[in-house]
Amino acid sequence: MTTTTIHRVGTLLLILFTLSAPWVLPIFVDSFWVDIYSEILIWSLLAASVNLLFGYVGLLSFGQALFFGLGMYGVAVGIAKFDLSFWPAFMFGVALATGMAVIAGALAVRLTWHYFAIITVVFSLIFYFTALSWKQITGGDDGLPFSVPPIVSIGDFELVITNPFTQYFFIVLMVGACYALMSRVINSPLGRAFVTVRENDTRAALIGLNVYLIRLSAFVLAGFIAGVAGALFAFFGRYASASYMFYHVSGEAVVWAIIGGVGTLFGPILGTGLLIVLREELSSVWDHYLLLVGVAVIVTVIFAPRGVGGVFVALVQKYAKPSSSDKEGSQ
């Protein structure tokens, strides 16, 4: 089998498992794992936004929780305060996160290395403390609960997200659309420009690429993806909280991306899934389960620095036959 065939088969298996999970998972495990898998899909988008910046552009962001939180609050405030219906509230949350990504990115992408990481943390902290203090809008420490309006309402017919199957497949549809968008971008000339800037920004500028605009484009796209994740999580929990804007949430997303394999499309799903499943299993048997999670992370980073997805890609490249596109790229 060629590398392209293996990647396509792997993608197809992931899609089939995701679509059949509400029926397959309850056969083998408790049905609550369907909700856990929904949560994994949502959080994987946050990790994917980190991966897009770090894995493809070489910018390590610890501020993605800002856009995740704004996506959450856009939905919650839109419904609870402005009485918006489902889709306007969803779009308001995503637009709020994307707009902030444009503003923050215009400043942040002028910096690189640890300076970039520091300024993203600063942006996140500014809005975290703003959300805590602006209690009349955000609910402060208590957060902001809301009742979810129907997704579609036509006459007597209503499609509501409170239905478990509707909620699951709505999340799958939105997450799948985001991964399809990222795949399209990564395999486009813009995606190749991302990698060129990551490898050597000086040479990229010398051959005529606008490094600033390329980094800004990646930053805004990553903010959009994180905003979608936040909006989905708001609908999932019917709640928004400032705690999700704190930088430790961004730190978790960075860990998920690294464990899954930065620079791979589905690495964030693998990393997020492994660590959340590990957390759920260990938390029921030991109060200090995070110590074991930390050990697992350290072992993975030491012995598989490219992450689980990176190991898979390396094995495929080593043992599978190269595809025609691979041969053309090596010539």
Instruction: Map out the domains of the chain as residue ranges.
Output: 31-245
Q: Give the chain's residues under pLDDT 50.
A: 325, 328-331
What backbone phi and psi angles, to 5 degrees, belong to 52? Answer: -60, -40
The answer to whether 260 and 31 are in contact (CB under 8 A) is no
Please tell me the distance from the alpha carbon of residue 134 to that of residue 155, in angstroms, as a whole number.
Answer: 38
Could you tell me which residues come within 8 angstroms of residue 179 by beta carbon, excluding any fewer than 6 positions away? 48, 265, 266
Please tell me the distance from the alpha carbon of residue 253 to that of residue 268, in angstroms, as a whole number.
Answer: 9
Q: What is the pLDDT of residue 2?
A: 66
Q: What is the pLDDT of residue 330?
A: 37
Output the pTM of the full model: 0.91
Q: What is the pLDDT of residue 138?
A: 87
- Helices first, then strands: H and E counts in the chain: 15, 4
Q: What is the pLDDT of residue 331?
A: 36
C-alpha distances in angstroms, 1 versus 4, 17, 291?
Answer: 8, 22, 41
Closest CA to 177 of 241, 134, 231: 231
The answer to whether 268 and 257 are in contact (CB under 8 A) is yes
Q: What is the pLDDT of residue 173?
A: 96
Q: What is the pLDDT of residue 321?
A: 64
Task: State the CB neighbour count (10 A cutoff) for residue 202.
Answer: 8
Q: What is the pLDDT of residue 323?
A: 54
